[in-house]
Structure 1
Amino acid sequence: MAEKGEESSKPVEKYEVVFDEATGLKHYPFPLEQVPRLHWDDPTADHLMTHEMPVVLTGTELVEPALRWTLPYLEDNIGSSKHTVYISKTKKFLYFDDKKVNNVPDFREPMKKREWTFSKFVDELKGHIDRTDEYLYYQDTLTDTVGTSIKHDFVHFNWRWLNDRKKRYNWGQLTTNLLLIGQPGNISPCHYDEQHNYFCQVMGEKRCMLFSPSNFDKLYPFPVAHPCDRQTQVDFNNPDFEKFPNFRDVKGYECMVKPGEVLYIPMYWWHWIEGLPKGGITISITFWYRSGPVPNKIQYPLNDQQKTAITRNIEKMLHEALQDPAEVAPLLRMIVEGRYI
C-alpha cells in the first residue's frame, strides 16, 4: 500500500463500468489498490494507523458479543423506543443535513427519514425484500434505551483494546456508536467524515472503496452550506467529465469487510460502502472519534487532511460573514482570478 500522498497506477482513459453478474457489484475503471488486511498487533497495522492510512483489522474481538445479533434477537432485546430509518427509491442513501435545506432553492430530499420502533422496522423490512422501487436502511445510535441483553453485550465489547488505541493515536473523545442495518446492495455514496471511524462488520459482507484526502479536487464535494456537504457531486456510474474533469485522475483503495473484522477509516478519507447486492441483510457498528488536540505549532508542509480542514474552515468563515451562500463563489473567484492564476 502506498504511503500517504503517494500516487500509483494510471488515470482513467476510457470510462466503462463493468457489471459482475456473480456478485451483482459494479466495477469502476479507476485504479484501486487493495487495503491491507492484518492482525491488529501486526507492526504494519500500527504503522498504517499511526500515519492515518486505512487498514482492515482482524483479531480485535471488538464487537464479539454482537456477532450473535440477528434481527429476531435485536427485536426481542432492543426495546420499544423509536429508531431512525431512511427510505430511498434507489439503493443509494445520500446523506443530507436538513438544517441546510433552505440554503438551496428547490432542493429535493434524496431519501425520507422515519422514526419507527424496531418491530415496525422488521415488519416493513419483510415487505421490502422483493421490492425494487423502495429500500430501507436503519441507522441509529446505541443508547441506554436498549434492553438488558443488548446492554450486557455492549458492556462486553473489547473496550480495553479500543481505549488503548485511542490513547496510542492521541485521538479525542468517542462521540457515538452507530448501528447500521441494511438491505442487500444498499449504498452509502462516496463522502468523507470529520472523525476517525472504526467500522465493524457484524453480519454479512460490505465492499468499501476509499480515497485519500489528496483526491479532494477530484471528487468535487458539495459546498459546505449545501445539505449534501461532504458528499461527492460526481455520479460514479455516469460522471460528467466536462463539469468534473479531474475525476479522470481519481485513484483509491478497495476491500471487503467480513463479520468480526474492523475497517479503520481515517478522518477526511473519502469512502463508499455497500452491502453485497446478492448477499443478505447486513449489520454494522461504528465507533466515531474526534481528532486529538491541535498542536501549538503547525508543521509544514501541510498534509492533505490539514488542507481539507483549512478549506472547510475558510468556507464556513465566508458563509458566516456573508450570510448568503450565493456570494461565496464570486468572492473566492475575485480573490484568485488574475492574482493567483
Structure 2
Amino acid sequence: MIKNNTVKKMTEKKNWDDTQIRKYDIQLEQIPRLNVDDPKIDELIAANRPVVITDTNLVGPALHWDLEYLEQHMGGGDYTVFLSRNHKFKYYDEKKSSHDFSPPTRRVDMKLAEFARRVRNWRRGDERLYLQQALNNTVGPAIVQDFLNFRWDWINSKQKSHSWGSLSSNLLLIALEGNVTPCHYDEQQNLFAQIRGHKRCVLFPPEQFECFYPYPVFHPHDRQSQVDFEHPDFIRFPKFKNAKGQEAVLGPGDVLYIPIYWWHHVESLMRGDYTLSINFWYKGTEKERTDPQPLG
C-alpha cells in the first residue's frame, strides 16, 4: 500500500488535505525539503538526488501571476494547449506518429483569452485543458520584466557549480485541478518552480528503469511508462511491484530539483484551483542555444 503517512509532512504550510491526493499502490517516502541556505542541497544535486528547495525567491516576481494578469500581459499570440477527455496528459512525439497511432490528447493553438475563458467556465465532464508553452521573446514587456527579475544569480550559480549545460527552455504550465502528467523521464536537468496552487510530484531513480516498462524508442510515447499507476496490470508489468519512489507536494515558491533521467509523475491536486508552474530545463552538457531563445 502507498505510504501516505509521509504526505502529511510534505509541506510546512499545508493548504490542502489528503483527500486531494490520488492513491497508488506504490511504496513512497518523502523527498527531502530544505531551506535555500542548507549546504546539503548541493550535495543532493551533485549526487543526482531530488530535493525540494524552499525560500529561494527564484520566481518571486511571478507569484502574483494568475489568469487575469497573464491574459493582460502575455500578448496576443497563439499558445500550445492540450485537450483531453480524461485527466491524463501523456506526452507523445508527433514526429514519431504513424497511421495506426491514436494520440491520447489533442494539441491546439489557442489565444490566452480563450484558454482563460474555458478554464473559468470549466465543469466536470468537460474536455480538460493543459497549457504548455515555452516562454520566449514573443511575450509582453511586463512578463519579460518579471522574468528578468527572477533570481538568476542563484540559479546560475547552481548551473555553474554542477557543470550543467545551457538553459534550453522555460516551460510555462497551466493546468486544471486534477490534471495528471503520467510517469516519464526527461533527458535534461530540471528545476521545477511552483507559482500557483499545489502539485504533487512522484519520482523514481533511473536504476528502476525495468519497473516502468518504457515504450520502444521509436514509439510516439518514447520515454513514457506503459504502466497505468491508477490501474496497474501486474500480469503484463510484474516488476512494477518493486518500484520505490519519493514524493512531495509543492506550493507557491517551492522549487523541486528533478535530476536528469529520473522518472517523474506530476499531478495538480484534485478539487483545488488551477495550477501554474515554470520549469528551468538545462542540458546535461554544454550546447548552443537554438531559436526561439528562452527569455534571458
Q: TM (normalized to structure 2)?
A: 0.89
> In structure 2, what is the Cα distance between the partners aligned to 1:269 and 1:185?
22
Q: Which amino acid in the other structure matches residue 226 of structure 2?
A: Q
Match of residue 232 from structure 1: 225
Unaligned runs of 5+ in 2: 3-15, 288-296
Give how far 1:48 is off. 0.5
The Cα shift of 1:59 comes to 1.6
Q: Which residue of structure 1 lines up, in the alignment, with residue 73 of structure 2? A: 77
Query: Does the 8 A contact of 2:166 with 2:286 survive in 1?
Result: no
Letter in 1 for 2:134: T
In structure 2, distance between residues paired with 1:59 and 1:131: 35
- Does residue 291 (structure 1) correspond to residue 284 (structure 2)? The answer is yes
**Which runs of 4 or more aligned residues in structure 1 lie more than 3 Å from their structure 2 counterparts after TM superposition?**
none
Match of 2:48 in 1: 52
**What percentage of aligned pairs have identical amino acids?**
47
- Contact persistence 1:23–1:278 (CA under 8 A): no
The structure in which a higher percent of residues are helix is 1
Q: Which has the higher contact order (CA 8 A, sep 6+)?
A: 2
Deviation sequence 1:23-74 (CA, Å, 0-9, x none): 2322222210100110122121111011010000012111110001011011
2:174 aligns to what SS in structure 1? strand
1:111 to 84, 105, 116: 105
The aligned residue for residue 43 of structure 1 is 39
RMSD over aligned Cα, in angstroms? 1.7
Alignment-derived partner of residue 301 in structure 1: none
Amino acid at match of 1:106: D
In 2, are the aligned partners of 1:23 and 1:276 still within 8 Å (CA)?
no
What does residue 275 of structure 2 align with?
282
**Residues 112-142 of structure 1 deviation map (CA, whole Å, 9 limit, x = unaligned):** 00101111111222232x1324100000011
Equivalent residue pairs, number: 274
Q: In 2, are the aligned partners of 1:40 and 1:46 still within 8 Å (CA)?
A: no
Tell me which residue corresponds to 1:30.
Answer: 26
Match of 1:181, SS state, is strand
Aligned to 2:6: none
Q: Which amino acid aligns with 2:234?
A: F
- State the structure with more CA Rg: 1
Indicate how the Cα distance of structure 1 residues 172 and 22 shifts in structure 2: closer, same or farther if over 3 A, else same: closer
Counting only pairs closer than 5 Å after superposition, residues 155-234 of structure 1 correspond to structure 2 as: 155-234=148-227
State the match for 1:259 in structure 2: 252
1:184-206 CA distance string (max 9 Å, x none): 01100000000000000000010
Q: Which residue of 2 aligns with 1:338?
A: none
**Over residues 214-263 of structure 1, what are the superposed CA-to-partner deviations in whole Å (9 max), with x where a residue is unaligned?**
11000011011000000000111221112111111110001011100100
Output the TM-score relative to the length of structure 1. Answer: 0.78
